[in-house]
Copies of this chain bind each other. A is one copy, B any other.
Amino acid sequence: MHDKPIPDIIIGRLPIYLLALQHMVQAGRQVTSSQELGERLGISPAQIRKDLSQFGEFGKQGTGYNISYLRDAIRGILKVDQVWDIAVVGIGDIGRAIADYQGFADRGFRVALLFDSDPSKIGTRIGHFTVQDSAQMEKVIHDAGIKVAMVAVPVPQAQAVAEQLVKAGVKAILNYAPITLNLPHDVHVEDFDPLIHLQHMTYYL
């Protein structure tokens, strides 16, 4: 038993498939095909079939895929058939928008804890949460068993905050600070920076 890991680039497409399936369910649709999904997403049908075939057989020849069945299957693969609690660190404009954002629940996440180091913010309420002192962060996150965090602090603090999160047991970090974090290999980091995307597109203008 020494299965090859599934390529990360394939894992990265699953949430995109999931989102499209979700929209189809909401539109009352029952079945779809790799062809249709491909047109919608700008991905080749062959690639979609190949991606899915890594995880099992979800379709029927001649008919295609049952949408809600495939949705549930992908949810299971991505482990978002459960709800993950998230800690948000840094309650500036971005952190506040995250805390107020309503779209998490449907998709497997729930903001559970907010932290900031600014005394004028600690104790204030955002949505139905109270901002807690970053100084207590490690203990609080550890005790809550939280594995997923979003970092929205200024650049100079981002690396140190991320290291604290790792100490607290966090294994997945969505990093809003425009800096590349250096963390142990077993911690998953995704950078989330609008400027990176804008600068990518201007090349083509």
Which residues on A are within 8 Å of B, measured CB to CB? 11-12, 14-16, 18-20, 23, 40-42, 77-80, 84, 86, 93-94, 96-98, 100-101, 103-104, 107-109, 147-148, 150, 155, 171-172, 174, 178-180, 182, 188, 190, 192-205
Contact = CB atoms under 8 A, between A and B. Distances in A.
B103 A178 contact: yes
A80 to B, nearest CB: 5
Nearest to A41: B180
A19 B181 CA distance: 12
A203 B78 contact: yes
Contacts of A193: 19
A200 B15 contact: yes
A186 to B, nearest CB: 9
| Residue of A15, A104, A199 with highest tally of chain B CB at under 10 A | A199
A177 B100 CA distance: 16
A148 B195 CA distance: 12
Contacts of A172: 198, 201-202, 204-205
Report copies per complex. 2
Pick the 6 closest A-B CB pairs, nearest first. Answer: A15-B199, A172-B201, A97-B97, A190-B197, A93-B97, A188-B201
A105 B111 CA distance: 30
A177 to B, nearest CB: 10
A179 B101 contact: no
A182 to B, nearest CB: 8
A1 to B, nearest CB: 19
A104 B194 CA distance: 9
A175 to B, nearest CB: 9
Nearest to A189: B201
B195 A104 contact: yes
Contacts of A203: 11, 14, 77-79
11 contacts: A11-B203, A19-B179, A19-B195, A20-B180, A40-B180, A77-B203, A78-B203, A80-B202, A103-B178, A147-B205, A172-B201
